[in-house]
Homo-oligomer: A and B are copies of this chain.
Amino acid sequence: MAHPMFVKHQDLLASAVHAIESRGCWSPYRDELADYGGEAAVEAGRKAFFEAYPDAQFYLDQPGFVGRGGGEVSPYGVTLNVSYPKCSADALIATAKAAVPTWAKAGPDVRAAVCAEALERLNASSIELAFATMHTTGQSFALAFRDAGPRAQERGLEAVACAWREMKHVPYRATWEKTRGSRTPLKLEKRYTVMPRGVALVYSCATAPTWGSYPGIFASLATGNAVVVKPHPEAILPLAITVAHIRQTLKDAGFDPDLASLLVDTAEAPVARDVALKSDIGIIDYAGRAEFGNWLEDNVRDALLFTEKPGVTCIVVDGASDYVAMLDNIALSLVTNSGQRRGTPQAILVSQQGIHTPSVTIPAERFGPDLARAIGRLVEDTATACELLGAIRSPATLAQLAALAETGETLRASEKIVHPQWPEAQVRTPLLLDVPADAGDVWMEEQLAPVAFVVATPTTAQSLAFAERAIREKGALALSIYSDNENIVQLAEEVSLRTGTTLAINLTGTVLANESIGLSDYRASGLNPAAHGCLGDAGFVAGRFVVVESYRNG
């Protein structure tokens, strides 16, 4: 008899597989707050959040308890001080390992359905997740809601759909019967079982804790692995809520909740490196800063490894059919989440031959000041500015921002905005600098602070060559091109294909070059240093399980 969760979710899974093969706009998770109860629900959620969490002990019934830890401080100035159970990594791994055989035996349908159920419950908690994400990452509520809620859930479902499709390609059994002329046929009865690698480790980051980790968490669970989630010590809460939901779902489905656990550490006593090298870890997913990602790439031997690092996103400006719409889109991408969003454009390469528009060629030197004004328009109204910018998460980022001011000619200084509700929040507009193309040590370095560089180049072909060099050396997930000349767009497409970067062409409106939507967009490629592979494709899931065969004479 089919598991009740599979009965409940099989149509959803089939639709999700259709979605990953057609890649249009489809999602079971609505992304308008109105669909979640609107302002009233947000207000109720805010109240509930501040009643539930500050100074609370987050409950997770995990093995290997050694004490409590935590101590997150909201970038909006609220001391959350939630404490989480700290558990020994060895205990979490050992318990997870012991739970794997039963989970493996449950088979692809049940596992995919349990994952879908967990995602449905997370979706119902999107407002709670939004507040948890807002007060750990510094994102504004509206952005946190979308990214930590439906957008993250879509990415999780995409991974489940990819995994389910691949596992369903494997038959349960086969009769192999070979005729041999007049002799008795050779006959074998074969059985095939999908088996997981074992225990997976997922690192979540401080800027997109759920969005960045759901693909790995759900890809590994769906393929029969257990998952230990190691959150960034400054953004634990969104993952604690996530793991709690997954554990409860596993339990309700009749499985061991220890298949998913939270490994909490502190900045003072980090465990991130130790745990990566433990021999029972079969898969590692990491999304975050290049430094630790590179360390994993250099040191992890036996585990399957997926890293995703921000790299340097370039925008090449050659021309525009609507100059102002281009400026507005670029400005919006720089302002959104104070550039702390992974892959925020950092270098804008403009040919000295000017910017071609249908009516005139705009002199290159006008571009920087025009972009500065476009940023100014976006942040003119304080309320809107705060919604877009959110708060700077880390004091280190502020220090970096101050230091960067000297590295180029200022096109627009970073301004401090006083948040009307949260006066302690560090709200800053992006710094816009003009730097020469040969200052690659500045504009080609991964900057975490909200800064963008306008880089003058001799020609657009040179701009593309500089962008390609940045991608090859530093990595990138995306490249953006503005041109009304299809030959130039074609050249950019060739750079994109060669380097494995998503190409955004002539974007206007509210879609950003560093956006990537689950069930439609393939994110990252593994063809440049920004990533080891791609989210949302077969390669992301297929190595997480193997097929083990047995056969006997038939």
Which positions in A face B, CB cutoff 8 Å?
Answer: 20-25, 32, 101, 104, 165-166, 169-171, 174-178, 181, 186, 188, 190, 192-193, 195, 197, 297-298, 301, 493-494, 496-498, 500-511, 517, 520-522, 525-527, 533-534, 537-539, 542-543, 545-553
Residues of chain B lying within 8 A (CB to CB) of residue A297 = 301
Indicate whether A177 sits within 8 Å of B550 (C-beta atoms), given known contacts A497-B104, A538-B538. no
In the bound complex, CA of A286 to CA of B155 (Å)? 34
Determine which of B177, B537, B546, B548 lies in contact with A170 in the assembled complex, contact meaning CB atoms within 8 Å: B537
| CA–CA, A550 and B504, complex, Å | 6
CA distance A547 to B507 in the complex (A): 21
Closest 5 CB pairs of A and B: A503-B550, A505-B552, A538-B542, A539-B542, A23-B174
User: Which B residues are CB-close (under 8 A) to A174?
Assistant: 22-24, 520
CB distance A547 to B553 under 8 Å? no
Check B177–A24 contact: CB distance below 8 A.
yes
Are A192 and B551 in contact (CB-based, < 8 A)? no
Are A507 and B552 in contact, with the CB atoms below 8 A?
Answer: yes
Q: Which residues of the other chain, B, contact A493 by a CB distance below 8 angstroms?
A: 550
Bound Cα distance A175, B25 (Å): 8
* Residues from chain B with Cβ under 8 Å of A511 in the complex: 186, 188, 553
Alpha-carbon gap, A177 to B498, bound state (A)? 28
Say yes or no: B496 contacts A522, CB within 8 Å.
no
A178, B30: Cα distance in complex, Å: 11
A-B contacts besides A23-B176, A533-B543, 20 pairs, CB < 8 Å: A23-B171, A23-B174, A24-B174, A32-B181, A104-B497, A176-B520, A192-B522, A195-B500, A496-B548, A496-B550, A502-B548, A503-B549, A503-B550, A504-B550, A506-B552, A506-B553, A507-B553, A521-B549, A522-B547, A525-B547
Contact of A534 among B298, B497, B538, B546 (CB under 8 A): B546
Q: 22 A-B contacts, Cβ less than 8 Å apart?
A: A22-B171, A23-B190, A23-B192, A101-B497, A166-B538, A169-B538, A174-B520, A176-B517, A186-B509, A195-B497, A195-B525, A502-B549, A503-B550, A504-B550, A506-B553, A507-B552, A508-B553, A521-B551, A522-B547, A525-B546, A525-B547, A537-B547
Question: What residues of B have a CB within 8 angstroms of the CB of A197 in the complex?
Answer: 526-527
Who on chain B is nearest to A21 by CB? B169
CA of A169 to CA of B19, assembled, Å: 11
Give complex CA distance A176, B154 in Å: 15
Q: Which residues of B lie under 8 Å from residue A525 when comparing CB positions?
A: 195, 546-548
Name the residue of chain B whose CB is nearest to the CB of A177: B25
Contacts of A553 in B (CB 8 A): 506-509, 511
- CB nearest neighbor in B for A478: B549
Q: Which residues of B contact A501 (CB under 8 A)?
A: 548
Closest residue on chain B to residue A503 by CB atoms: B550
With a CB–CB cut-off of 8 A, which chain B residues contact A538?
166, 169, 538, 542
* Cβ-closest chain B residue relative to A26: B176
Instruction: Give the chain B neighbours of A551 by CB distance below 8 A.
Output: 502-505, 521
In the complex the two chains form, is A546's CB within 8 Å of B542's CB?
A: no
Nearest-Cβ distance from residue A234 to partner chain B, whole angstroms: 30
- Contact residues in B for A498 (Cβ distance below 8 Å): 101
- The answer for the CA separation of A542 and B219 in the assembled complex, in Å, is 15
> Do A546 and B21 form a contact, CB below 8 Å, given A505-B552, A538-B538, A553-B509?
no
The minimal Cβ–Cβ distance linking A495 to chain B, given in whole angstroms, is 10
